[in-house]
Amino acid sequence: MSTLSDESYVFQSEFYTSRIKAAEQAAAEAARTEALADGELHGEAKALLRILGARGFTVTTTLSEQIMTCDDPARLDQALDLALTADPGQDFAF
């Protein structure tokens, strides 16, 4: 006896096909938005490391890893502000 699996069934109804298409488009848009946000965080982290290096701060491997793996945009923004104004003779606390 053959059975119909969910993967092989093609909906014929306009109602279902339009809802499936809308859901696929929403998922694709969410993925694009997330990718952009991840890219912005990565760019801010790289900018922070560049500013720290240019201003003469000691950037250890640990500090670099903490910055590059940070997923909090507010924390990166605060760190960027601090990097621009802090004394390079002090340790940079992230």
Instruction: Return the DSSP state at 21.
Output: H
Q: Which pLDDT score, from 0 to 100, does residue 4 have?
A: 56
Q: Which pLDDT score, from 0 to 100, does residue 31 have?
A: 83
Query: What is the residue-level pLDDT of the chain in tens, covering all 94 positions?
Result: 455 555 666 667 777 778 888 888 888 888 888 888 888 999 999 999 999 999 999 999 999 999 999 999 999 999 999 999 999 988 898 8
Q: Where are the alpha helices (DSSP H) in the chain?
A: 14-55, 61-68, 73-85
Q: Is residue 94 part of a domain?
A: no
Reference 63, options 45, 44, 41, 86; nearest CA is: 45
Q: Is residue 48 part of a domain?
A: yes
Domain count, the chain: 1
Q: Is residue 92 part of a domain?
A: no
pTM: 0.68
Q: Which domain holds residue 52?
A: 14-85
Q: Is residue 91 part of a domain?
A: no
